A = this chain, B = another copy of it.
């Protein structure tokens, strides 16, 4: 039943040899890796406008300037970032390249930043996608969180557990449809603007208060908000191993292509927002307002909204391609639990996928679906990892001294300075708006990474196998094995348990705990008559506890035994025929086993006794 459902949703297990087939052509990789930056057209310009429209529209005219600054930044990041794919074809992006070139600490900062970024991307993209849907169908507003969680667990998690190739097939079409619709929107809008009676930028959209410190502060905050459009640019360089060969070259081409499309889309929509003087509103996205203004509320409008919704859900999927891979690399290096590094039945990193879904689901549920104000927040993590990656690349080029290494180093140094500056801008202008959360989260994660690493290192030391130890094994057993068999009343279960005890040792103790002296005496008398050749020790428990006396008895044995002796406690366990019969037996055996295993240095053996009815 469970297995059939699992097969239905997750698919048949994939064989190890099917792993190599899981590589992506460029056009597919583009749709998987770049849906995150491309889809940010759905909320990026709005994030700029929200900051500038708030203080009485006095700064609305600056929107274009901020957008231009963002485009320049995008160009710098893109150019300096394609070099990451080149320098580091193994994937893992900032983390891997920092670890290789500038050491553990910056690498862990990058890993923690990416961790925050990926998780926030999932939560924010899903909730923005649902908002695109709600803009078109306001009747659904009350079901917002439900829709979010269904998309998260019902679609994204399952599609990703099915594995990489399937997810690309599911998601290729929406990305291209979205790009197509935005291009059509920009085309129609631009045609209207330049053939209409009004000037291309109307007077009411050109309001600009004279420049002063307050204006600068707001512009910087708008810029910080707008940087959210650039999250996800790094996804391609983190996923280089998933490209077809030549992997690095293909990844670079895809990065350039993506950045170009993103620049056109951002510039176009910002222009149209100014042209139509669109203002931010509650419960409706600006892209929806713009589409309504330009296309009217016809089928094209609905088509665009649905495409936006799909591409935003797909953007959430970017993290599913990024974080589990990053976690597996961290796990391999010992900074995360080892099991995050293992591929599941379908060759995807199942544990990482489930972990990501749970974190993102908690964010959505915790913020009740209103995660928009987290959008700009997560840009800080992204730019931190940009800065680290490029600093690491400068060291890399210097060390390699390959062809054109000086130009490459200069490009990356410039990129590092600019993105580092952006980190400072975001951290300052958004500090009280939530940036402090990220600035606490990153050190906390680094602490966790290091604690995990320490544990694994300690363990490896303790588990280290000396050959002498191993050889001594063949000399045979040196100590005794003292067997303790708790006996409640003499039944056929005791006989079976005793038979096993005799088969492994000659040193067997039967232990009877009684809550009633008289009953205890009766059991002792029966024991004498039966005479199984084993001493019965009876312990009277006046406080009616059963487990404590057994544990005390084991403790006493333990303090008297020789170092090389073993103590084994045999616990019979009934296996009932029907599930509910289990509730008719007290769980003393189970509790005793758990306590002994957790607390004591004894071997606990469970002897099954399968009831036949």
Contact = CB atoms under 8 A, between A and B. Distances in A.
Given A473-B532, A481-B503, A606-B597, A338 B495 contact: no
Given A465-B491, A470-B532, 17 more contacts: A14-B543, A16-B516, A17-B542, A337-B585, A338-B584, A338-B585, A462-B612, A463-B492, A465-B494, A465-B495, A469-B492, A470-B490, A470-B530, A476-B502, A477-B503, A600-B608, A604-B605
Nearest to A351: B586
Contact of A601 (B494, B516, B608): B608
A344 interface: yes
A585 B467 CA distance: 25
Given A455-B581, A467-B530, A598-B575, A477 B491 contact: no
Nearest to A578: B455
Contacts of A374: none
Given A491-B464, A532-B470, A344 B544 contact: yes
Nearest to A331: B584
A603 interface: yes
A531 B574 CA distance: 39
A456 B585 CA distance: 10
Given A492-B465, A603-B607, A597 B573 contact: yes
A532 B474 contact: yes
A388 interface: no
A611 B568 contact: no
A467 B505 CA distance: 23
A584 B474 CA distance: 33
A380 B515 CA distance: 39
A542 B16 contact: yes
B467 A16 contact: no
Contact of A342 (B339, B345, B544): B544
Contacts of A452: 584
A332 interface: no
A339 B515 CA distance: 14
A458 B611 contact: yes
A7 interface: no
Given A463-B493, A495-B470, A544-B16, A603 B458 contact: no
A586 B576 CA distance: 28
Interface in A1-32: 13-17
The 9 A-B pairs at the shortest CB distance, nearest first, are namely A605-B605, A477-B503, A463-B491, A504-B504, A13-B543, A339-B586, A16-B542, A337-B584, A15-B542
Contact of A500 (B499, B530, B543, B603): B603
Interface string A65-101: 0000000000000000000000000000000000000
Interface string A472-504: 011011010100000000111111001110111
B473 A498 contact: yes
Contacts of A343: 544
Contacts of A575: 597-598
A584 B502 contact: no
8 contacts: A344-B544, A345-B544, A465-B495, A473-B502, A481-B500, A481-B504, A504-B568, A573-B597
A613 interface: yes
A495 B481 contact: no
A549 to B, nearest CB: 13
A533 interface: yes
Nearest to A588: B339
A213 interface: no
A499 B606 CA distance: 19
B543 A15 contact: yes
Nearest to A570: B603
B504 A505 contact: yes
Interface string A578-604: 100101111000000100011011111
A338 B157 CA distance: 45
B530 A502 contact: no
A610 interface: yes
Contact of A499 (B471, B473, B533): B473
A566 interface: yes
A573 B376 CA distance: 46
Best-surrounded residue of A345, A500, A545 (most CB of chain B within 10 A) = A500
Contact of A597 (B597, B600, B608): B608
Interface string A523-563: 00000001111000000001111000000000000000000
Contacts of A604: 605-606
A440 interface: no
A605 B568 contact: yes
A605 B600 CA distance: 14
A216 interface: no
Contact of A545 (B345, B492, B503, B612): B345
A584 B455 contact: yes
A407 interface: no
B463 A477 contact: no
Contacts of A338: 584-586
Contacts of A516: 16
Nearest to A593: B606
Contact of A533 (B337, B474, B492, B576): B474
A20 to B, nearest CB: 13
Best-surrounded residue of A16, A467, A476, A584 (most CB of chain B within 10 A) = A584
Contact of A473 (B473, B493, B495, B586): B495
Contacts of A504: 481, 504-505, 568
A575 to B, nearest CB: 7
A214 interface: no
A585 B458 CA distance: 14
A464 B612 CA distance: 13
